[in-house]
Amino acid sequence: MSILLLHEVTVSFDGFRALNSLSLDIAVGELRCIIGPNGAGKTTMMDVITGKTRADRGKVMFDQTIDVRRMTEADIAHLGIGRKFQKPTIFENLTVFENLELAMKMDKRARVSMFAWLDDSERDRVSDTLKQIRLDHQAERQAGLLSHGQKQWLEIGMLLIQDPRLLLLDEPVAGMTDDETARTGELFKSLAGKHSLVVVEHDMAFIEQLGGKVTVLHEGSVLAEGDLATVQNDARVIEVYLGR
Amino acid sequence: MRRPFIVRFFSATPKAGWQALAIFTTFALLVVPLLHLAVPETSVFHVSSYAITLIGKIMCFAIVGVAMDLIWGYAGILSLGHGLFFALGGYAFGMYLMRQIGRDGSYQSDLPDFMVFLDWKQLPWYWTGSDSIWWAAVLVLTVPALVALVFGFFAFRSRIKGVYFSIITQAMTFAAMLYFFRNETGFGGNNGFTDFKRIAGYSITSPEMRVTLFALSAAMLMATLVLCRYVVSSKFGRVLMAIRDAESRVMFLGYNPLHYKLAAWTLSAFLCGIAGALYVPQVGIINPGEMSPANSIEIAIWVAVGGRATLVGPVIGAFIVNLSKSFFTQAFPEYWLFFLGALFVGVTLWLPQGVVGLWSQWREKRANALAIAPADAAVEPGAAK
Ligand SMILES: Nc1ncnc2c1ncn2[C@@H]1O[C@H](COP(=O)(O)OP(=O)(O)O)[C@@H](O)[C@H]1O
Ligand SMILES: [Mg+2]
């Protein structure tokens, strides 16, 4: 069963095709890695899935029946698609706790937020997530003061607390120490199965650690797909990407 | 544990805030009125009617400053058209004040003088009900807010942001000013409304009325501060700040920024309208000059001088700028604009957090000098609410 299906999706920017008839099928509970040289269209693909960019052609189906192409960013988020950006974007002026509070899955309408008050179970969820991302001693710290790696973790925490069915992670371990990277890998592996994950990365050791199926993007379409060893031995992949 | 809403509402303002408000209340509702009404004019303790009117007027400006801070400081939306909402509130109440003149105008007519002058025979339809103070209150509470709601809906829905938004708000207030300048608009043209005589039958120039308006302005300023403090410390307020800092992130978390911005924007305009309605009877005039683009820019300067995203800052800023203004316009009128410009440039360069920022920097320095330990204690999870 597929959680996300892209069928021949094309996106052009002034005639330049950032995505060129891209097809992709992510199964429920799968952990998929996407690699590809800079400019291959990885971020654009996430923009299309989350409603930031509109596809010119093609289908984007979530959970087999829901067509997300005409939906707003907020509505897509409510379907259960969470996204971590390439550049960590957290709310620097709020505390770590407050960042998670805003991300948490709950009624997000303005008139509800005006009177909202966290109950005990919601506080517990925040504390659990804080432990999961190892920021439980920094709850009241202003998020802007965290280290780069900690900001990445906070953003991952903001994703987790939304409890999305599908997580899109754009270069999640960029700027992390080796130790932090390894722990992030463990976390992602523990999430697979319960959630579906799409991870865009350059770090081959990290992809190897994750161990899922790998898709290679090149010039807006799929160049190769399979386990890491297979794609690493693919002649075309070596030529455009790994060989350089 | 769940606390009732009313407790949460009032406890959003911290203890120090309530202490300051208590002192302010004592002065504004007790000391100053008594010193004006009961102490003879010859005494040094007498508060002159000039001072009462000046401070009353500045308190109305301070309300506008706080309302502006809500939208600029917290939501990052710089409006350069807030003078319009203030003026609309003023005009809405001014209509009632014009009707209260009755037959005491120069033409001894039931119609306001400017309508007689235009040779109008009856009130235009939109003046219906303007002789009722209740209807006037309804207009004050709804018209500025509705105008803001409609304007904001289209602007925010089109995702107009930053400097573009500021420019269209300038255009909005400028267009409204031109419209109100026309005599046919039915709001007194460039003279606007003036020569008010009464409110609810009581003389508008009596000391008691002056003190009443002063006290109402003070009470409204306090209510505005308490209300806005609740708003910015609620989850709604945190979402506003998040929109200010990273709007697209907020959308991907499942929030619709349009609703948040629109609610804050409309609330802000609503408060400005009330301030305008309190202002007009105190100064005795409202004309389209209140809608001039320069007036709206000045509002932003009060907020910048006092300190953005602080709520009290704009109150301080409104007092600093307007007290200086009344000093300069008497002592050196030709230098006022230079002073205002210099003040704005100076604050932008050296005091990005405004006067309040200076104060908290100083307190931080002192705390660092005095203590060694507490900085670390503050980030312990035990400090979590
Ligand atoms: N908004 C945009 N306007 C124009 N070109 C864009 C836009 N977004 C991305 N592109 C182009 O599309 C291509 C794919 O970009 P991107 O998806 O960011 O690649 P990746 O994330 O794989 O490095 C790049 O050549 C980039 O310059
Ligand atoms: Mg990218």
Q: What is the pLDDT of residue A241?
A: 67
Taking CB atoms and an 8 Å limit, are B259 and A109 in contact across chains? yes
Query: Is 60 exceeded by the pLDDT of residue A42?
Result: yes
Q: What is the pLDDT of residue B73?
A: 96
Taking CB atoms and an 8 Å limit, are B259 and A52 in contact across chains? no
Q: What is the pLDDT of residues B181-237, one digit of tens each?
A: 999 999 999 999 999 999 999 999 999 999 999 999 999 999 999 999 999 999 999
Q: What is the pLDDT of residue B372?
A: 56
Query: Is 70 exceeded by the pLDDT of residue A242?
Result: no
Taking CB atoms and an 8 Å limit, are B239 and A91 in contact across chains? no
Which residue carries 């002592």 as its tokens? B331
Q: What is the pLDDT of residues B139-182, one digit of tens each?
A: 999 999 999 999 999 999 999 999 999 999 999 999 999 999 99
Beta carbons within 10 angstroms of residue B21's beta carbon? 16
CB A183 within 8 A of CB A20: no
CA of A68 to the centre of ligand 1 (A): 21
Query: Is 70 exceeded by the pLDDT of residue B9?
Result: yes
**Cα Rg of chain B (Å, integer):** 22
Chain B residues touching A140 at Cβ < 8 A: 378-381, 383-384
**Which H helix or E strand runs over A168?**
strand A166-170
Task: Find the chain B residues whose C-beta atoms sit closer than 8 A to any C-beta of A.
Answer: 2-3, 5, 8, 231, 234-236, 238-239, 241-242, 245-246, 248-256, 259-260, 262-263, 378-381, 383-384
Minimum CA–CA partner of A160 in chain B: B253
% of chain B beyond a pLDDT of 70: 96
Query: Which of A42-46, A72-76, A238-242, B322-326 is predicted least confidently?
Result: A238-242
Q: What value does the mean pLDDT take over residues B37-62?
A: 93
Q: What value does the mean pLDDT take over residues B353-372?
A: 84
Work out the burial of residue B376: count CB atoms within 10 Å of its CB; fewer than 13 is exposed, 13-18 middle, 19 or more buried: exposed
- In this structure, the residue with its CA closest to atom 24 of ligand 1 is A39
Whether the complex's predicted ipTM surpasses the cut of 0.90: no
Residues of A187-223 as b/e, b for ≥16 C-beta within 10 angstroms? bbeebbeebbbbbbbebeebbebbebbbbbbbebbbb
CA–chain centroid gap for B58, Å, is 9
What's the predicted TM-score (pTM) here? 0.88
- In this structure, the residue with its CA closest to atom 4 of ligand 1 is A13
Taking CB atoms and an 8 Å limit, are A97 and B263 in contact across chains? no
Q: Residue A237's pLDDT band (boundaries 50, 70, 90)? A: confident
Give the binding-site residues of ligand 1, using a 6 Å CB cut-off: A 13, 18, 36, 38-44
Q: What is the pLDDT of residue B4?
A: 87
Mean pLDDT of chain B: 92
Q: Residue B380's pLDDT band (boundaries 50, 70, 90)? A: very low
Identity of the residue numbered A229 = A
Taking CB atoms and an 8 Å limit, are B252 and A110 in contact across chains? no
Which residue carries 């939109």 as its tokens? B126
Work out the burial of residue A179: count CB atoms within 10 Å of its CB; fewer than 13 is exposed, 13-18 middle, 19 or more buried: exposed
Q: What is the pLDDT of residue B384?
A: 39
Q: What is the pLDDT of residue B385?
A: 37
| Tokens (6 digits) for B85 | 């909402």
Which residues 92-151 in chain A show a CB within 8 A of chain B?
A: 92-94, 97-98, 101-103, 108-111, 113-117, 119, 130, 136-141
Query: Is 80 exceeded by the pLDDT of residue A105?
Result: yes
